Amino acid sequence: MNGWQTLLYKEVLRFWKVAFQTVAGPVLTAMLYLLIFGHALESHVKVYDQVSYTAFLVPGLAMMSLLQNAFANSSSSLIMSKMMGNLVFLLLTPLSYMNWYVAYVGAAVTRGLVVGVGVFAVSALFTDLSFVAPWWILTFAVMGAALMGTLGLIAGLWAEKFDQLAAFQNFVVMPMTFLSGVFYSIHSLPPLWQKVSHLNPFFYMIDGFRFGFFGQSDVSPWLSFSVVGGVLAVVSGIAIYLLRTGYKLRT
């Protein structure tokens, strides 16, 4: 294996060694959401024709778990390396900043996809799932995980202690995720909040992902693809620039 492949393998092995915590835990959390919300609202909420509310929930919960775990993987790896002082061993290697980017984001995408597949596998026990447009499902899953892995990389570079990283996750990632249409269609919101939702890039990731299952969505999947792709390009550019300049890596 060459440099970036070795680093990628190390990052994947890092989360896989504690899979009970990094994979099984998030899957269990998603199932609790599914059981509680599905049971409580199944007979009270109808979003799409011919689609039960429980089935509607599954893609949103899978994508929410995927996004949160992709972010957690890259951000936690960097901050732990900083706090433990072993980041210096990576800095001594001849790895380029692009090698760092590909390895950290690649591992984040891998963890996100593994958790997402786990959520689907368990959800199949509770409801029937349809796959109308599988390529849209795969496209938004990979793009969403890459975007959040990149955002986690930026957060990990910026943060100097766990408190700062927790604040970023609690006050930015979590609210934007929960207000992105995981549990509802934005058409059920008042006009003002519908407009606010359209400013949230997380909404486009989940809405485009959900289109792949039901062939129905709140906005065109091509619009979602354009927004997610544009945001991914921007955050990738920022992350690569920070890596290239050694932002908070050599201090």
Q: How far apart are CA 169 and CA 24, in angstroms?
A: 20
Q: Which residue has the higher pLDDT, 111 or 174?
A: 111
pTM of the model: 0.91
Tell me how crowded residue 216 is: count the other CB atoms within 10 A of its CB.
Answer: 16
Domain boundaries, the chain: 3-245
The pLDDT value recorded for residue 68 is: 93
Residue-wise pLDDT tens digits, 180-200:
888 787 777 788 888 888 889
- Tens digit of pLDDT for each residue in 97-117? 999 999 999 999 999 999 999
User: How do residues 15-51 score in pLDDT, each as one tens digit?
Assistant: 999 999 999 999 999 988 888 877 766 665 666 667 7
- Residue 213 burial (10 A CB sphere; 0-12, 13-18, 19+): buried
Q: At what angle do helices 25-41 and 97-123 cross, to 10 degrees?
A: 40
Give me the percent of the chain exceeding a pLDDT of 90.
51
Residues 6+ apart with CB under 8 A from 121: none
What does the pLDDT read at residue 54?
A: 81
Mean pLDDT of the 230-234 span: 97
pLDDT of residue 1: 59
pLDDT, the chain, mean: 88
Rounded distance between C-alpha atoms, residue 46 and residue 49, angstroms: 7
Return the H-helix or E-strand segment holding 162: helix 162-168
Q: What is the pLDDT of residue 239?
A: 96
User: What integer pLDDT is reported at residue 24 of this predicted model?
Assistant: 93
Q: Which of 65, 51, 45, 48 is nearest to 130 (CA)?
A: 51
Rounded CA-CA distance 187/184 in Å is 8
pLDDT above 70: percentage of residues in the chain: 94
Hey, what are 87's tokens? 């980041």
Q: Distance from CA of residue 143 to its chain's centroid?
A: 9
